[in-house]
């Protein structure tokens, strides 16, 4: 059985990558906050920083896949 060819198309746009990188830098500096309008606590988790960056990219209109919905 032949191997499935992977799509050469980018999953995230370049703008989305830049937004995530910016969020990671803010996390490292200690200025990235969670919650609406940054009212929450400091972000310490790498995964949370990436999620915040992707969310900001979506709001800017960058090409980012939809969030996976949790099935509870």
pLDDT tens, residue by residue, 30-47: 999 998 888 889 999 999
pLDDT at 9: 83
pLDDT at 8: 78
Identify the helix (H) or strand (E) that includes residue 57. helix 46-60
Beta bridge partners of 33: 42
Domain boundaries, the chain: 14-60
Residues of the chain whose pLDDT is less than 50?
A: none
């Amino acid at each position: 059985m032949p191997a499935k060819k992977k799509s050469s198309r980018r999953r995230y746009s370049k703008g989305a990558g830049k937004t995530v990188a910016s969020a990671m830098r803010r996390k490292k500096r200690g200025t990235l906050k969670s919650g609406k309008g940054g009212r929450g606590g400091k972000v310490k988790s790498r995964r949370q920083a990436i999620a915040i960056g992707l969310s900001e990219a979506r709001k800017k209109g960058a090409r980012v896949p939809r969030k996976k919905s949790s099935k509870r």
